[in-house]
Structure 1
Amino acid sequence: MSDELLSPAEMSEADRLTIDAGPVDGIGLMRSAGAAAAAVVLERYPAARRVHVLCGPGNNGGDGYVVARLLGESGVDTVVWALGAPRPGSDAVLAAAECPIKPRPLSGLDPEEGSIVVDALYGAGLSKALSGDAARAVDIVTRLKLPVVAIDLPSGVSGGSGEVLGGRAFRADVTVTFARKKPGHLLLPGRERCGEIVVADIGIGDGIIASLRPRTFENTPALWLADFPMPAVDAHKYKRGHAGVFSGGPGATGAARLSALAAARSGAGAVTVLSPANAMQVNAAHLTSIMLRKTDDVADIEGFIEQRRPSAFVLGPGFGVGQRTRAFAMALLASGRPPDRPRIDGLVFDADAITSFRETPDSLFEASRQANAPALVMTPHEGEFARLFPDLAGDAALSKLDKARKAAIRANAVIVYKGADTVIAAPDGRAAINANGAAWLATAGSGDVLSGITAGLLAQGMPAFEAACAAVWIHAEAGSRFGPGLIAEDLPSAMVPVLHELVAARGSR
């Protein structure tokens, strides 16, 4: 299945275009959707004592009437509970007419223990909190801990934002959606309510989806594998890229070394830790394959760029907050001017590099928009995001996806808005939502490793958006596979089998 994600509006447009193209019509799509959901119920719950199908007044409810008809025809004891009649003139009216099971009012819902619930009340386009009988149904089903198969999305979850509207929604064991996933399937807290997600083909062709030109994706290797770096046969270390990682002072060197090791593991041919003079001995005691260079001021940076021609940098982890950090950041962003200077492919700003601009974010954004500025990737967690983009962070009307997109455009940077549902957004409007992470990654130093992976991929010439997406996925996959007991120092080694698989997949394309 493709990695595109469709907003509720895009999904509605895909339905319309499919119907207009023929030969399938609206009720045909509804029958296919209901058949897919009914098949899941029959496969997953063959011994169910009874199935309660909850039908709303819209097309989601129409899918439910199809499910109920097919389950009844299969000999399953099926009860239909309706939240009002289907909307006049809709395909749901036809689906309800085809269902021989007489619906009961949802207000009387009284399921028994051991039964199954099919949630067909509301789909991805829900824009307000559940109330009345729908809210009561959620409470009853939740109290009885009944298994739920949700159609499209669990009712109460926004398909666009993943928000649980009003704080009340079904918690599904399985969610059956159609054609493509929606952002709400992957963004928290909605993702936790979906359970297993089954994407069913109901006849909406890939050409129809492509005509919509989706700009949102699930972050999987299919999105960026074609750009994943593969060393040439004649490659030497500098052909594989050189990454520089700035170190903090003597008491704050570990974060930079984590980033540097991750950059090297991700394939950069050479990595140099750029250390202040007073931390050289500390860093030297811990570095072997990674090089070390004294860097106390902007002149040192310029000398390093001229002499060693690095292709990517990491600034921020353990570096300290203040004027010196801002000066280093501005020097790196200006490194491509004049254009005859050595070209830097990308910069990764994290942690202290982000926080240092909390009072003057516009100066950072203006510098990133200048001609010949290196591609910039910023990797804020929620608190750091709020320091640079306080208005976006505080806007409750915006989803995490919306916030990351707007921030990327404003900053002219790839924004990696970190969290359990990390969003990666590019200035051109593309965005990806990551879904393979695990709680084990919530450990000190994990973000430093992510910055290093990103820089290592940038150093090898991978485009900034693709490099950021790949780094997030690799980082999460390594952490998920390692599991309990993970600390940040484990991540660079845990990446190795993941990288082996990616290289093999890239080579087989």
Structure 2
Amino acid sequence: MSELLTAAQMRAIEQAAIHSGTVTGLELMERAGRGVVEAIFEAWPEVADQPGRAVVLCGPGNNGGDGYVIARLLKALGWIVDIFQFGDAANLPADAKENHNLWQAEGGVRPWHVPDIAKASGDLLVDAVFGAGLTRAAPAEVLAPLVTVFEHDRFAGRVVAVDAPTGLCMDSGTALSAEHGAALADLTVTFHQARPGHFLNDGPRHCGRVVVKSIGLEGYDVPGTVQYADEQICWALGKSADRHKYGYGHALVLSGGAGRTGAARLAARGALRVGAGLVTLGVPPAAQMEVACQITAVMLNRIDSAGALAKVLTDSRFNALCLGPGMGTERARELVPVALAASAPGDGAHRAVVLDADAITAYEAAPETLFDMLHAQCVLTPHLGEFSRLFPDIAGKIGSVTGGGPAYSKVDAARDAARRAGCTVLLKGADTVIADQSGACAINAAVYDRAAPWLATAGSGDVLAGFVTGMLARGEAPLRAAEIAAWLHVECARRFGPGLIAEDLPEMLPGVLKSLRA
């Protein structure tokens, strides 16, 4: 897992390094400019030995200072470089002004003129106008020509954004201008660590590709960072030769009635494939024959009422429950309170519980009723629609800007929801965000080279709920169980590719898990 830094966190790290005396702001700016030039030649090696014409757009802050460094380095390599400056260069911050002055000794600066920029062309465009710290809509006179240039492909598909395409909030991935959105890039180069906005909301569509370059800030930490999920989260997922099946837990998945058992069967299959030692489907009487005809390794238990579920749960070996997929809201309202109240006999600890789909929707009219029952061993797995039904006020803030700060993000939403619910929340989407009640948070994004559009198919969320349940049965803590499950879910879809249906996801797991051990 790697860290993602908000603009404020990145500023704090830069300031800590500068105040320590190990580096100056001017040195950091030089390193950033060199990092961008390196990334350009790595992305497009065909221009490394064939200098062309570059246009560099510089803004009124330190992002503009990076642009002047890039321009100077390109010119030294034989490039013809034009610079357009937005705002009065006399008002640039000290380090950016120093680099502006260094450039002035070598070449001129053109004032910002929209028609000239809109019709500019060449081999490379560098967007160094507004970077990762932007918290308000960029002026139309900046965004309009940037969008025009990109849409007309006047730079041979080589538009590079420094830190962020202008107009994009990098804490949230929100395009801040309602009229013009944000600029677009073929390549975005950022420094030290990526930002949440590179992976959330509009971010991937605007950033093109993202490259992170070191500028020598290793060893500086800030609290409250968001984690970015990668395969490291899946360490030690194998099984030990000295443990039997009950050592990996017994998951219970509650099904809906006749004709509505498919979702629960998908979840059960997912829980078993991900490594739960045993999985049982709890079904109402009318669905017993239907389910019995469809399962083999998954077991079956008749559960027709709250009392029947309470009786089943006197068996302490059931250590993880899944409620919601295909369950029906009426059955969910009957069984969810029993599942949430169930304690493991002997130690009084709550069992792990995953609530998905109908188990969430069942409480849309009275979410506080659900929140009063939830506990720290629960995981909620809503998509944005279900999330909006449980947390309408929180969902309504996503993408909004208040108080002059960055836009309210899915990270903010998931953290606030987890604190309110007192448990882990997995907010599904291509930019899945997972948070727990302590504020710990991770992003699992199926974007860029991890894109998995095939997950937009019926039942894929049910399999994900099963993966989470299976990891909980194996003894993983709720946040980690959700992180592992979400990462594996995407990898299974990527391994299968086009034509994926939900039934395929669990069957991809053996190959994914085997590759992790290789």
**Fold similarity call, TM over 0.5:** yes
- Write the letter of the residue equivalent to 2:55: H
Instruction: Assess if the C-alpha contact under 8 Å between 1:120 and 1:150 holds in 2.
Output: yes
- Aligned to 1:422, which of 412, 418, 432? 432
**Equivalent position to 1:265, from 261, 270, 273:** 273
Asked if residue 104 in structure 1 is aligned to residue 116 in structure 2, the reply is no
8 Å Cα contact 1:4/1:214 also seen in 2: no
Q: CA RMSD in A?
A: 1.7
Instruction: Tell me the CA shift for residue 235 of structure 1.
Output: 1.2
Partner in structure 1 of residue 499 of structure 2: 485
- What's the offset of the Cα at 1:345? 4.2
Once the two structures are superposed, the pairs formed by residues 130-141 of structure 1 within 5 Å of their partners are 130-141=138-149
Secondary structure of the structure 2 residue equivalent to 1:36:
helix
- 281, 304, 318: which one pairs with 2:312? 304
Q: Find 1:220's aligned residue among 211, 215, 230.
A: 230
Deviation string for 1:204-256 (max 9, x for gaps)?
Answer: 12x21x2x12331112133x335x54422211111111100011101101001
Q: Does 1:336 align with 2:343?
A: yes
Shift of the alpha carbon at 1:113? Answer: 4.2
Match of 1:91 in 2: 95
- C-alpha displacement of 1:341: 6.0
How far residue 22 of structure 1 moved from its aligned partner, in angstroms, is: 2.1
Q: Does residue 199 of structure 1 match 2:212?
A: yes
Pick the aligned partner of 2:187 from 174, 183, 188. Answer: 174
Instruction: Give the distance between the partners of 2:274 and 2:92, measured in 1 at CA.
Output: 58
Looking at structure 2, the residues matched to 499 and 59 of structure 1 have their Cα atoms a distance apart, in angstroms, of 45
Q: Per-residue displacement from partner, 1:268-319 (whole Å, max 9, x unpaired)? A: 0100000101100000000101100000112221222223621101100000
Provide the C-alpha distance between the structure 1 equivalents of 2:238 and 2:250, rounded to a whole number of angstroms: 15
Aligned to 2:174, what secondary structure does the other structure show?
coil
Would the alpha carbon gap of residues 165 and 89 (structure 1) be closer, same or farther in structure 2, given more than 3 Å must change?
closer
Structure 1 residue 168, shift from structure 2 partner = 2.3
Residue 82 of structure 1 corresponds to which residue in structure 2?
85
Write the mapping of 1:446-465 to structure 2, written as runs, cut at 5 A. Answer: 446-465=460-479
Q: Map 1:21-60 onto structure 2 (within 5 A).
A: 21-45=20-44, 46=47, 47=50, 49-60=52-63
* SS of 2:246 mapped into structure 1: coil
The 3 A distance-change label for structure 1 pair 275 and 342 is farther
Within 2, Cα distance between the matches of 1:114 and 1:486?
42
Q: 1:472 aligns with which of 470, 480, 486?
A: 486
1:131 CA displacement: 1.6
Residue 64 of structure 1 pairs with residue 67 of structure 2 = yes
Deviates more, 1:135-144 or 1:158-167: 135-144
Partner of 1:158: 169
1:93 aligned counterpart, secondary structure: helix
Any conservation in 2 of the 1:316–1:354 contact (CA below 8 Å)? yes
Using the TM superposition, give the Cα deviation of residue 404 of structure 1 relative to its aligned residue in structure 2, in angstroms.
Answer: 0.9
Q: What are the Cα deviations for residues 393-431 of structure 1, in whole angstroms up to 9, with x where unaligned? A: 112342211111100100012111111111111111011
User: 2: CA distance between counterparts of 1:157 and 1:219?
Assistant: 23
- Contact 1:229 1:460 (8 Å CA) reproduced: no
Q: Which moved more, 1:34-43 or 1:4-13?
A: 34-43
- Structure 1 window deviating more from structure 2 (395-404 vs 150-159): it is 395-404
Cα distance between partner residues in 2 of 1:95 and 1:469: 43
Tell me, in whole angstroms, the C-alpha distance in 1 between the residues paired with 2:241 and 2:488: 24
Tell me the equivalent position of 1:16.
Answer: 15
Tell whether 2:509 aligns with 1:500.
no
Q: Is the Cα–Cα contact under 8 Å of residues 68 and 101 in structure 1 kept in the other structure?
A: no
Task: Tell me if structure 2 keeps the 8 A contact 1:306–1:342.
Answer: no
Contact map agreement 2:57 2:126 (CA 8 A) in 1: yes
Alignment deviations for residues 20-76 of structure 1 (CA, whole Å, 9 cap, x no partner): 112210000000000111122234341463110100010000000000000000001
Q: Which residue of 2 aligns with 1:389?
A: 391
From 376, 379, 391, give the equivalent of 1:377: 379
Equivalent pairs, count: 492
1:291 aligns with 2:290: no
Structure 1: which 5+ residue stretches go unaligned?
none
8 Å contact from structure 1 (residues 312, 347) kept in 2? yes
* Native 8 Å contact 1:50 1:76 kept in 2: yes
For 1:355, the equivalent position in structure 2 comes to 361
Does residue 183 in structure 1 map to residue 191 in structure 2? no
Q: Which residue of 1 aligns with 2:405?
A: none
What does residue 6 of structure 1 align with? 5
Percent of paired sites with the same residue: 42
Q: Could you tell me which residue of structure 2 aligns to residue 402 of structure 1?
A: 412
What's the CA shift for 1:111?
5.0
1:195 is displaced (CA, Å) by 1.4
- TM normalised by structure 1 equals 0.93
Paired residue secondary structure (2:313): helix
TM-superposed CA distance for 1:90, in Å, is 2.1
User: For the residues of structure 1 that align with 2:122 and 2:99, how far apart are their CA atoms?
Assistant: 27
Q: In structure 2, list runs of 5 or more residues that go unmatched.
A: 402-407
Give the alignment's TM-score, normalised by structure 2: 0.91
Check whether the contact 1:149–1:173 (CA below 8 A) recurs between aligned residues. Answer: yes
Q: Distance in 1 between matches of 2:42 and 2:79?
A: 12
Kindly indicate whether residue 367 of structure 2 is the aligned counterpart of residue 365 of structure 1.
no
2:260 aligns to what?
A: 252
Say which SS state the counterpart of residue 245 (structure 2) adopts.
Answer: coil
- How many angstroms does 1:479 deviate by? 0.6
| 1:407 counterpart letter in structure 2 | A
Per the TM alignment, residue 142 of structure 1 is displaced from its structure 2 partner at its CA by 2.2
Equivalent position to 1:444, from 458, 473, 486: 458
Question: Residues 311 and 343 of structure 1 are in contact (CA less than 8 Å); yes or no, is this contact kept in structure 2?
Answer: no
